[in-house]
Structure 1
Amino acid sequence: MPSTTERLLAELAREPDGISLPRLCKRLGVRMSVLMRELAWLGGESIGGRPGPGLVRVERHGDRDVAMLVARDQR
């Protein structure tokens, strides 16, 4: 069975314009806290002094937070 990280990346790949965090939680069957941890781990921010891989980002679109993959040339 694919890991949460693999499933998350697959869902984001299906949504090039991004997907709202609540919808992503529902599709993955995980709590928001789990999703936020995964997004933080895969994002570009430093955790424990180590830079993240910068694979995903979360943007505010109006009143929604939307997760999306980061294009390879933007990393």
Structure 2
Amino acid sequence: MSELTEPLLAALAGEPAGVSLPRLCKRLRVRMSMLLRELAWIGEDAIGGEAGPGWVRVETQGESLVAILTERGRERLTQGDIGR
């Protein structure tokens, strides 16, 4: 995973209803393209035939895309060994 993984999971940890993607970009000080790439790698969808870890899911709420930390993501965050 990248150096963005842990800060992203931590930013979502205190937000059970999730955080809009633009707000996450501001909090993490990253561009949308970088955030979307990271969400793709740590999300639930398969990339290249390999299932993602399912730590985060993105869903539509009204007109906004919102990232939500999954239970698997919470477990991973508390393990403290992200990226190893």
User: TM-score, normalised to structure 1's length?
Assistant: 0.88
Number of aligned residue pairs: give it.
70
TM-superposed deviation, 1:37: 0.5
Report runs of 4+ in structure 1 exceeding 3 Å deviation.
Answer: none
Q: Structure 2 unaligned runs (5+)?
A: 73-84
> What amino acid maps onto 1:67 in structure 2?
A
TM-superposed deviation, 1:70: 1.1
Q: Percent identity?
A: 64
> What amino acid maps onto 2:50 in structure 1?
R
Q: Structure 1 unaligned runs (5+)?
A: none
Other-structure match for 2:80? none
Other-structure match for 1:13? 13
Q: Give the CA RMSD over aligned residues.
A: 0.8
TM-superposed deviation, 1:48: 1.2
User: TM-score, normalised to structure 2's length?
Assistant: 0.79
**Over residues 19-44 of structure 1, what are the superposed CA-to-partner deviations in whole Å (9 max), with x where a residue is unaligned?**
00000000000000000011010111
